[in-house]
Amino acid sequence: MAYKPQYYPGNTSVAKNRRKHMSDDVEKMRDISDEDLTALLGHRAPGSDYPSTHPPLAEMGEPDCPVREVVEPTPGAAAGDRIRYAQFSDSMYNGPSVPYWRSYHCAINFRGVDPGTLSGRQVNEMRERDLEEYTKRQAETEMTDWGLAGLRGCTVHGHSLRLQEDGTMFDMLDRRRLEGGVMVMDKDQVGVPIDRKVNLGKPMSESEAAKRTTIYRVDNVSFRSDKEVVEHVQKVWELRTKYGFVPKA
């Protein structure tokens, strides 16, 4: 029988969503063009060539190395792209993805990644063209609700704040906002104005966000309501504690 990865225990909607994010079985909800995404990231001008930090690997004449022979480089690494970053901030008010699940999604489904997981934001460093592919995946799918999340390279404040009156997460630099029922973004991730207004689609309704979220909340799906998850977490804690003491038996 073929091996089927078991990503996460539990039977609640949150546990199921967590499994979906980890396995990349996520629903596409909107289209964001490559040029728009490049503008939002702000690392290079849309349409321009990828700046490189070293010549393409094929031209470099790599040393003999069995690992290099086995591991195929990512397109970004093969072309010698720069390392660049994308950072998402997600609201704790039923934001669809929470930082750990962005990291899991990235680390499991993409290669050449360096995810950084913090309490209210998740930053990921990759080769530039790999990064664009990864960001597009997260930005276009149910992993991101642009009302409850934001692409924020700096001044990420908003994750733990109450929502604004219009139901969106606060953004101190006003990078994206609700206009005419859709989220629009006219600044890049560090707040520098860009030459376009990118339509990020309709934000999720409260009930839809509650259905798609990966965060356990007492006012939605509480952590303790999922016995299998609690059991799993307790088992992990028990084992790591015992391992810390290096028991003889």
By CB under 8 A, name the binding residues for other proteins.
42, 153-155, 157, 161-166, 170, 172-174, 177, 188, 190-193
Write down the least CB distance from residue 230 to other proteins, Å. 30
Determine the 3-state secondary structure of 97 from DSSP: coil
Indicate the residue among 22 and 156 with the shorter CB distance to other proteins: 156
Residue 167 burial (CB count, 10 A): 15
Q: Which is nearer to other proteins, 93 or 101 (CB)?
A: 93
Contact, 77 vs 133, CB < 8 A? no
Smallest distance, other proteins to C-beta of residue 76, A:
21
The residues that bridge with 185 in the sheet, in sequence order, are: 176, 198
Burial class (CB in 10 A: 0-12, 13-18, 19+), 47: exposed
Kindly tell me which of 127 and 187 has the beta carbon lying closer to other proteins.
187
Q: Which amino acid is at 127?
A: R
Nearer to other proteins (CB atom), residue 78 or residue 178: 178
Distances (CA, A) of 139 to 69, 105, 229: 33, 13, 28
Least CB distance to other proteins at residue 41 (A) = 12
Residue 249: count other Cβ atoms within 10 Å of its Cβ: 2
Find residue 126's DSSP bridge partners. Answer: 84
Q: How far is the CB of 177 from other proteins (least distance, A)?
A: 7
Task: Tell me the three state secondary structure of residue 232.
Answer: helix
CB of 219 to other proteins, least distance (A): 12
Nearest distance from C-beta of residue 187 to other proteins, angstroms: 8
CB of 191 vs other proteins, minimal distance in Å: 4
Q: What's the token pair of residue 182? A: 């859709």
Q: Which is nearer to other proteins, 142 or 188 (CB)?
A: 188
- Our CB check for other proteins shows the closer of 109 and 164 to be 164
Nearer to other proteins (CB atom), residue 20 or residue 187: 187
Q: Please calculate the CA angle 236-237-238 and round it to the nearest 5 degrees.
A: 90
77 touches 60 (CB < 8 A):
no
Using CA atoms, how far apart are residues 143 and 213, in angstroms rounded to an integer?
A: 9
